Amino acid sequence: MSNLKTPHENIKSIMAYCNRDNDNGNNGKKFLTNHLKKLNYTPEKIIINQNNVMKKFFKNIIEGFSTDKDFENIQDTYQLWLDSEQYIKLKETTKNKEERFNYLSQFLNNSNKDFYDKLTSDELYILGW
């Protein structure tokens, strides 16, 4: 996330979306949990993201193998993964997402407005603001 500042300056927009949610019956824990899924903060979404990043990394390496002998060095290939920028960035991203999930989960039983007030501008944008 590039901007973790809250609360938001544009309270009128938040209220407009809260009114829209109320009009559409979009309230409650299930509705707000879907927002966490869309933000890719749920444990399931985090694991899917980790797997996709790792698969892409290994796919690129495996496609570069020219002989069967390359497969003998699979431990070296795994060490390449652990030393890679992608892995380091993935660990940091995962940690940040887990922290945001844990923080925002505290507000799932609150009103939509309380939940939206805890989101960053970037997160609100992802949710379609």
Is the preceding peptide bond at 43 cis, omega within 30 degrees of 0? no
Residues of the chain with pLDDT below 70 are 1-10, 65-74
Q: Measure CA 57 to chain center.
A: 19
Q: Degrees (nearest 5) of the Cα angle 89, 91, 119?
A: 85
- Residue 122 identity (one-letter amino acid): D
What is the pLDDT at residue 97?
97
Q: What is the pLDDT of residues 67-95, one digit of tens each?
A: 555 556 667 778 888 899 999 999 999 99
For residue 20, the tally of other CB atoms under 10 A from its CB is 11
Q: How far is CA 73 from CA 79, 80, 94, in A?
A: 10, 11, 28
Q: Measure CA 5 to chain center.
A: 17
Q: Measure CA 42 to chain center.
A: 7
